[in-house]
Structure 1
Amino acid sequence: MTDVLALYRRTAALPLGKKLFSFLYAQKAPYFWTVRPQVRDMRPNHAELTIRKRRAVENHIGTVHAIAACNGLEAVMGLLAEATVPRGKRWIPKGMDVAYTAKSTTDLLCTADSDPADWERGGDVPVRVRAIREDGTTVVEGTITLYVSDRK
């Protein structure tokens, strides 16, 4: 278990623990704080967080900006990666391929999922990501490719 996953498990058990963990996580990668991610779940091969639709992340038409949604997707991918990366390995994002499929008119649930077998062989690991409106409509979906290698 990685240090990040261990910290999540310890803090999530406390009152307001997920809020505390969300704040700490966003401070580790300060750009994530722009979307104020609220972590809902973190475990190997799956992670979830929400981002609120608020003025600071809206575009000129009043929806959540596409790049803000992608920021949420990258944050949730990082949670999944930290929960899943095998001991002795490290990861780094290599690329993102997303499609904007609907307007982001509400708060968004961002999810990330991967297949366990992909992590064992290393190299390129695809992580499936989605941003979902409150009515269940997927507004952004795609893949973030990670490069997994041996830790030096």
Structure 2
Amino acid sequence: MSNMVSTMQRAEQWPLGKQFIQLAMRWMVPFSASIKPELEILETGHTRGRMRDRRAVRNHLSSIHAGALFTLAETTGNLALMSITPDNGRWIVTGMDIEYQKKARGVLIAETILGELDW
């Protein structure tokens, strides 16, 4: 298990530990903080986050902005990758595709489940 995952799992056991993790995540990645993602699951190779529907993430059509949706997906995906990155490994996102099906409203959930990667 990666150090990041084990550290976060230990922190969740502290009083207000989950809130501390949320704040640390938002501080480390300021742009992602703009959507106020809430981390629900952080396990090795598996993350799930949610974003609440609020005015700050809406567009002119009264639905959640495509950029906010993309940011939520990227945030959970990046955390899942971080959780399985070898100690001597590094990576950077070089591309990502997304296909929008309909207007998004309400609480949104993004989940990433990774298999084994050949580093």
Partner deviation per Cα, 1:24-55 (whole Å, 9 max, x = no partner): 11110100110001100111221001111110
Residue type at the aligned position of 2:44: P
The 1-side partners of 2:44 and 2:7 are apart by: 14
Residue type at the aligned position of 1:58: R
Residue type at the aligned position of 1:46: H
**Structure 2 unpaired stretches of 5+:** none
Q: CA deviation at 1:16?
A: 3.0
Please say which of residues 2-11 and 84-93 is displaced more in the overlay.
Answer: 2-11
Residue type at the aligned position of 2:23: F
The structure in which a higher percent of residues are strand is 1
Which is bigger in relative contact order (C-alpha 8 A, separation at least 6)?
A: 2
Q: TM-score, normalised by structure 1?
A: 0.73
1:58-97 superposed matches below 5 A: 58-97=58-97
1:2-151 superposed matches below 5 A: 2-116=2-116, 119=117, 121-122=118-119
SS in 1 for 2:97: strand
Residue type at the aligned position of 1:99: E
**Structure 1 unpaired stretches of 5+:** 123-152
Q: How many residues align?
A: 119
Q: CA deviation at 1:19?
A: 2.1
The 2-side partners of 1:102 and 1:12 are apart by: 35
Using a 3 Å threshold, how does the CA distance of structure 1 residues 45 and 2 change in structure 2: closer, same or farther?
closer
Q: Is the 8 A contact 1:43 1:84 kept in 2?
A: no
Q: CA deviation at 1:3?
A: 3.8
The 1-side partners of 2:14 and 2:53 are apart by: 26
